[in-house]
Structure 1
Amino acid sequence: MTWRGSYTVVYTAAARRQMNRLPLAAAMAMHDHLTGPVADNPHRLGKRLDVPFDGLCSTRRGEYRALYSIDDGRITVTVVTVAHRRDAYRPS
């Protein structure tokens, strides 16, 4: 049996700070994207990333990217990074 419904979206403290630094329209669009289509089906919308981001997925909204992990056991999507595409894939 497959679970149907939305995943809970959780932002890390760093992702929350990054969202606050985005232009308002971009932050609202990204939040709506993450809590809407991504929460409904994070595996379909996310692109699996390779090393050094192993275990994370990426989704885009305009010029911005969100990197997140999926916990199917807890039905949770944890947003780790939200940044402009030129900065999103730079290891910290």
Structure 2
Amino acid sequence: MALSLSPELQQFCDRQLASGKYASLDDILLAGLQALAEREQLYQGRFAELRSEVLLGASEAERGELLKASSEIDTIRQRLRHRHAEP
């Protein structure tokens, strides 16, 4: 496979090879692809969590289980003040 890198990425790879952390460009590319796969997996997991939370909130809203925004904002502010006041 032919691969064309920008000068910045080529320099980065050269530094990684010179450090001894990686034995070859293939090792660097493999590590990068593994990191990308892990990031994508985390993203998909977080997306699923957020989707679930949105659906739960929509269901609660349909049932009339709504929170008063001003009191919730006050609660959040109090928590933040308390958190920042701790040593």
Alignment TM-score, normalising by the size of structure 2 = 0.24
Point out the structure with max Rg over C-alpha: 2
Greater fraction of residues in strand:
1
Greater fraction of residues in helix:
2
Greater relative contact order (Cα < 8 A, sep 6+) = 1
Alignment TM-score, normalising by the size of structure 1 = 0.23
